[in-house]
Chain A
Amino acid sequence: MSKRSNEPIVWSLFGAGGVVVAHTMPVLIFVTGIAVPLGLVSADVLAYERLAGLADGWFGKLFLLVIISLPLWQSAHRIFLSLHDFGITGGETFFRVVFYGAALWGTLLPLFLLVGM
């Protein structure tokens, strides 16, 4: 009964991802999905050069890494738990590798690209 679970590792990434999603996604959806297409904001806001400029500084790199990586951990852990809620109890190791692996890939790839920019 008292063997310590390792879930705090993914749960803390999941929790941080939830906070990031809650605070940034509504704004990002508004800007990219509503404001720019409806012409409320100039399309220049999303111009490639302007956005790529974000990755010039270390603060921008960190911001991009955070909003790309953490929501992936949030989704991966939520999907993994939902499988259990739906009664799919077998193959836990397989699903862990698939979902957490995807989130890890979605963390390491942008990290590699951002550091190299």
Chain B
Amino acid sequence: MTSNDKIIEIEVLRYRPEQDEKPFLQSFKVPFTDDQSVLQGVQYIKDYLDGSLSFRWSCRMAICGSCGMMINGVPKLSCKTFLREYYPGKITLEALKHFPIEKDLIIDLSDFINKLESIKPYIIPAAPRTLEQGEYLQTPRQLDRIAQFSSCINCMLCYAACPQYGLKPDYLGPAAITLLHRYNEDNRDAAKAERMQLLNAHEGVWGCTLVGYCSDVCPKDVDPAAAINRNKLNSTMDYFLRFVAPRGGN
């Protein structure tokens, strides 16, 4: 800390389940320079002001998706958000909305992980290839169909943004549907019919009311709202075509 440093007030929502009845806000004065992220701000708090503050982080460069939190009420990656954007105002940090708090800024993400597993986010080929047959081929055009949706880093900001997930925790949600779409549209994959059953449910694609905030908050410029709406069309085709096509139009 040098004498040139500016001081910003950071309020953090604290919750230590073994000693607190409910979450409360604790304020810290943090010196910073213009190149420091909000993540570096909370790291300063942990290193110099209160070592008991807990939060998740890893890569510091918007790749791992660990450090998502509510920053002044907006879900953001704290490594990709800078303290200078809020100075001279104060910053309020809270755990991601719509998830149970495990401790301080750490949420219990098991609901999301279960949903992610349920959509089988991996390529399931019609017939596995042997080593001799070589790799699964894909043209640049086939890659284009899925490239944008494959950038998801599972940071869950879209779940914190989605009012429908807040109202209906059973809703499959933006990131899981986006990744489901990414694998369904992959030319090397053959498990579409199986995944469609998840989409067709009320808790699937029909849980969405097209608010669109998921796409606003995505730090990787993925467009979950587009993936969801394309699949409303897919699910509608599946709904009606199952009466004329023997295998549900797939």
A12→B163 CA distance, assembly (Å): 23
The answer to whether B232 and A11 touch across the interface, beta carbons within 8 angstroms, is yes
Known: A84-B164, A84-B167, A85-B163. A2 touches B201 (CB 8 A): yes
Q: What count of chain A residues pass the 8 Å CB interface test?
A: 18
B223: shortest Cβ distance to chain A, in Å?
18
A81→B209 CA distance, assembly (Å): 6
Known: A11-B236, A85-B209. A5 touches B167 (CB 8 A): no
Q: Is chain A's interface secondary structure helix, strand, loop, or mixed overall?
A: helix
A87→B209 CA distance, assembly (Å): 12
Contact with B along A79-90 (1 / 0, CB 8 A): 001101101010
Contact with B along A39-59 (1 / 0, CB 8 A): 000000000000000000000
The answer to whether A7 and B201 touch across the interface, beta carbons within 8 angstroms, is no
23 intermolecular pairs with C-beta atoms under 8 Å apart:
A1-B170, A1-B198, A2-B198, A2-B200, A2-B201, A4-B197, A4-B201, A5-B200, A5-B204, A5-B235, A8-B232, A9-B239, A11-B206, A11-B236, A12-B236, A12-B240, A15-B232, A15-B236, A84-B164, A84-B167, A85-B209, A87-B167, A89-B167
Known: A5-B201, A11-B206, A81-B210. 12 other contacts (CB 8 A): A1-B201, A1-B203, A2-B197, A3-B202, A4-B201, A5-B235, A7-B206, A8-B235, A12-B240, A15-B236, A81-B209, A89-B167
